[in-house]
Amino acid sequence: MVKMTSGPGMSGPSSSLGIMRFFDVDSSGPKMTPELVMGIAIGFTILILVLQKFF
């Protein structure tokens, strides 16, 4: 069971505070948009289908 903190300015379980801090931090990895990822996936799928057709 998660304990609720009761101090001033604190609301919610203490475990959710760590998650919020995790998502606030920027990583140094490559930044890719969802559109780019979908484009790469669709292009790769088309490439595989074309290669299966001819080989």
Nearest residue to 3 via CA among 23, 22, 17 = 17
What gap in Å lies between CA 21 and CA 12, rounded to an integer?
Answer: 14
Residue 9: band (very low, low, confident or very high) from pLDDT cuts 50, 70, 90? low
Report the percent of the chain where pLDDT is more than 90.
38
The pLDDT mean for the chain works out to 76
What predicted TM-score, i.e. pTM, was given to this entire model?
Answer: 0.50
Is the pLDDT at 44 greater than 70? The verdict is yes
Domain ranges of the chain: 31-55
Alpha-carbon distance values, 25 to 11, 12, 14, 20 (Å):
21, 20, 18, 9
Residue 27: band (very low, low, confident or very high) from pLDDT cuts 50, 70, 90? confident
